[in-house]
Amino acid sequence: MPQILILGAGPAGAATALGLRRLGYPVAVVSEWRRFAAVEGISPRVLDGLRNAGLVHALAHAAPPSQRQVTWNGKRSAQNVELILDRPRFDSGLREDLQAAGVEVIEGRVLSVESSAEGHRVCLDGGAELQADFLVEARGRQAPLNTKQGKALRGPETLSLLNRWQGEHGAVASAVESLETGWAWMARLADGRCYWQLTLDVASTELPGKEQLLDYCRERRQASRLAREFFGDAPESELELHARSSTATLCLEACGNNWIRVGDAAMAVDPLSGNGIFQSLSSALQAPAVINTLLRTPERAELAKRFHQQRVEQLFLRFARVGRDFYAEERQWSDRPFWRARRNWPDDQPSHAEPDFAALRIERAPVLRDGLVDEAEVVISPDQPLGIWHLQGLELAPWLRRLHNEPVEQVLADLPAEQRRLFQGWLLSQGYRP
């Protein structure tokens, strides 16, 4: 069997590894432990993604959902629910899932990767060298871009400054607020660990030297009424700061004949969405079938690579457009550099297109079938430009074609009751009005 090596044991790397094990491949994962105790806010649908990926031990480490306070465009609300992930505990759960599935986990930091058509040589700190027939790049935003001359589509350059300190014990909570120069996310865990992250525009922000950054952040935190209410007046002990890029990034070549990029290494979205893990899982859940196709049916290589790239790009653009619309809702500082750069990026296309039955068309496109990338007729809609193949087993294209040529009553009469109900519901959702 081909030797498959995955670099990175985050959600994307772990989900890819588990999917490959289910297909019968031996898999090894290289990862080093996270260097600081981060937390992350996730939306409830991330839990479904973790469950679908088989990451049950990691799932157990999600805190109960809590209401997230939001102050945006001068208005305060508490409509959204957020779950706070303690990333060190979550990462430990990911490793438990890997080990339970029989995945070899190699502790180490990757120093270099040498790739060719014959395979890959990976050098780790400590002098160890690993050989692999197929390589999965899952090291997140920091994964080196070594294809197409390192080209990527990048959003406005963005920097996040994360402050972490120990406060008093209290209820788990999170909040978001817009500021003149960016936005801030804050969270508190039950054991009193506090987090405040300020996200800024790189081009227009003048930051002090590294030694003054903590004071810079403290001044802005204390100037925020929401932050003062959220954290209270308890002293801040063990205060730390971590700076990281949070620029939205899309890799323009996410798959080759013997390698693939998944998760944030393929595309990284704006942290405002709270869906970073969700989009990481989205690309990782399809990756095992893409890899399986490249290894077992190389004659379909171009089809498999197109399938992966198209879905990565489409998901990235959808998240980017949703973020653009949310940024545009903040009108207090619409002329300020941070907001001006983000309210029109990446384009002027709608994040969700209105249904239009007349615009539906049938095309052949790559799909997933029996653990491989195959080709089939799909229905292209304004909101699903990559096409819809089937609804719970009912292939749409043949029935839509019949609908264009036969009375609707006859078409529906030939469907079993449950499939008829599904098909009718889908037609109505696409704007069909008989």
Query: Per residue in 354-392, pLDDT tens?
Result: 999 999 999 999 999 999 999 999 999 999 999 999 999
Lowest mean pLDDT of 67-81, 147-161, 300-314, name the range. Answer: 147-161
Closest CA to 49 of 381, 360, 275: 275
150 pLDDT higher than 70: no
The domain locations on the chain are 4-65+79-149+249-342, 158-245, 357-429
Burial of residue 65 (number of CB atoms within 10 Å: 0-12, 13-18, 19+): middle
307 pLDDT higher than 90: yes
pLDDT in the model for residue 31: 93
Q: How many CB atoms are located within 10 Å of the residue 353 CB?
A: 13
Q: What are phi and psi of 8, to 5 degrees?
A: 115, 130
Q: How many CB atoms are located within 10 Å of the residue 359 CB?
A: 14
pLDDT range class, residue 177, cuts 50, 70, 90: very high
Q: Which tokens is 373 given?
A: 């990338």
Lowest mean pLDDT of 61-75, 95-109, 340-354, 372-386, name the range. Answer: 61-75
pLDDT in the model for residue 48: 84
pLDDT in the model for residue 433: 86
Query: Per residue in 182-200, pLDDT tens?
Result: 999 999 988 999 999 999 9
Is the entire prediction scored with pTM above 0.75? yes
Q: Please name the fold of domain 158-245.
A: D-Amino Acid Oxidase; Chain A, domain 2 (3.30.9)
Query: Per residue in 241-254, pLDDT tens?
Result: 999 999 999 999 99
Domain 4-65+79-149+249-342 has CATH 3.50.50.60: yes
pLDDT range class, residue 274, cuts 50, 70, 90: low
pLDDT in the model for residue 434: 77
The pLDDT of 64-72, averaged and rounded, is 87
148 pLDDT higher than 60: no
Average pLDDT, the chain: 92
d(CA 238, CA 240): 6
Query: Per residue in 308-339, pLDDT tens?
Result: 999 999 999 999 999 999 999 999 999 999 99
Query: Per residue in 220-240, pLDDT tens?
Result: 999 999 999 999 888 888 889
To the nearest 10°, the Cα dihedral for 14, 19, 23, 28? -10
pLDDT in the model for residue 249: 94
